[in-house]
Amino acid sequence: MSVVAIAVVCLLQYVVYSWKMNAIHKENEEYQRNISAVEEELNEVQSDRAMTLIENHILREFVTQSEFDQAIELLLKRYVPSLREGFGIYLDEVGGQFKLRESRGITKDSKAIYEIDEHLLKKLHTENIIILRGKTLRESKIYACIHDQDKPRVQKLILMAVYENDNLSGIFLTTDLYPKGVDEQQQIKLAKRLLICVSRNIVKNQDFENHRFELRVTREQLELRSLADQQFKTPVKMLEEFLDRLRQFTDSGRAGLFLSTPEEEEGCKAIVQCGITLQTGVKLRWREHEIKLVQIGLTSGENTSLSGDQLDKHGIRSLIGSSLVSPLVTNRKRIGAICLSRQDSQPYDERSLRLISWASQFLSNTLLKVLSHATIERQAKQDGLTGLVNRRSFDEFIEDEFNRAQSMQMACSLVLIDLDHFKAVNDTHGHQAGDEVLRRVAQILKDRISEIRSSDNVIAARYGGEELAILLPDIGLAGTERIAEVIRHSIESAVIEFNETRIPVTASIGISTYSQHAMENVESLVAAADNALYQAKAEGRNRVCSLTSSTV
């Protein structure tokens, strides 16, 4: 009986003990849950605090930037710390198109305009941030716009919208979120908070940029306009200065003013050209491209901007990377066009479009007047028979070039050409035949001059009677001798006929080149060439001589 009682007591004690231990275990579990909850809450607080610190740091960096593009670039650096792992792009929304504004890590030849699927734009409007992966990414229009060299780095693509008064202002495209190593939801949460603050600053910055943009365009227009009021030697010089300044404003390599010539095969003719110096072969090829671009612009009748694939479609696959053509219209008639071109493949921006539009409109109203003045001045400086520069104008040119050569210690050469036995031509065939010979020889000079690399500065003149002259700035003795010999041979081999009678013509040529020690004034340069010409005649004519060289 006592054994049973003891057993019952032990059992009761065990039950009580088990109940107490179970209660303690439950209390411990509750305590651990409370601790975990507190730790989780603490971690969230610490994480939120860390994200807030990151957010505040980024925003401080962003708002302290005075330049809009620098601010965008700074933000892209945060999202794309390594150029090998990803890239970032900021697209401006302009008239329904998304144009590349800033980028980091993308291939240089990437597109300037990106297409974005309509359903993605609608989704962006409600969600602000979209992450594209897998099939959805690969089938999107935006993925098709990414350069093939950049696609291997795209495992996912994040689109983050920037809004201005509920209107889409721009889009960030990145291949990853920030900061790395943090839960994606935390990254998205941070990105959304950043976008709210950044949108305000971007919109504010864009307003400032737009204001500054308008001021800059206005200032550049006024500067171009002021050129028309300045005094130049000729109206064509004014056009050259105007066009060159426009070229500089638009970061163009070359600029040309072309007039429409429907009667000619090319349909247009260059009146003024300026810009980077090109070698002869390159210059001819570039000019062919310009003619084609102007024809395209005249056909369209509106501003035509071409780059990359667009140029390639028109057969322009080298030299020119982008171009901008604006027609000149007077009385609803297209009288010509301005053509800007450069080797860079980046398309022309809005400022360039505004400037060339204004410039073409301004020149359309003034060009005919300017050209009429230029025609009168050119006629006053030309020899009526040969179309070459007359003696009086040539004397002014040679004085200017000699002084330039003297002050800058540069080369400057003079070629004097005298037609052999020209009096006999007049006596035998008549003065009309002599005039025809002079006209033909003058044309030979023009043709040969056009082949010289520095032909823009070379001047040919009728020096007097049957004597002609060529001024060769920046060309030394050896080059002048070669040019003179080509001219002598061209005159000798030319077929000149008058009244079905062939008239043989040769020329004696004397040359001189500026020498710092031997020539103090332009008269000494002319005298040296004249003496060399006398020597050529004395040695039997039909030859080239210089006092510092043997007979060529």
Indicate which residue of 184, 466, 500, 539 is catalytic: 466
Name which of 161, 164, 157, 127 is nearest 139 in CA terms.
Answer: 157
CA distance 163 to 41: 33
> Residue 493 burial by CB count (10 A; 0-12/13-18/19+): exposed, middle or buried?
exposed
CA distance 227 to 223: 7
Name which of 138, 141, 160, 132 is nearest 151 in CA terms.
Answer: 138
Burial 103-138 (b: 16+ CB within 10 A, else e): bbbbeeebbeebebeeebbeebeeebbbbbeeeebe
Rounded CA Rg of the chain: 39
Q: How many other CB atoms sit within 10 Å of the CB of residue 535?
A: 16
CA distance 398 to 521: 11
The CB-based long-range contact list for 481-489 (8 Å cut-off, 24+ gap) reads 481/511, 481/544, 481/546, 481/549, 481/552, 483/415, 483/448, 483/452, 484/415, 484/509, 484/511, 484/544, 484/552, 485/544, 485/552, 486/448, 487/415, 487/417, 487/444, 487/445, 487/448, 488/542, 488/543, 488/544
Rounded to the nearest 5 degrees, what angle is found at the Cα of 241, between the Cα atoms of 237 and 247? 140
In the residue annotation, 466 being an active-site residue is answered as: yes
Name which of 361, 369, 350 is nearest 326 in CA terms.
Answer: 361
CA distance 117 to 354: 30
Name which of 345, 352, 346, 286 is nearest 325 in CA terms.
Answer: 352
Which residues form the catalytic set?
466
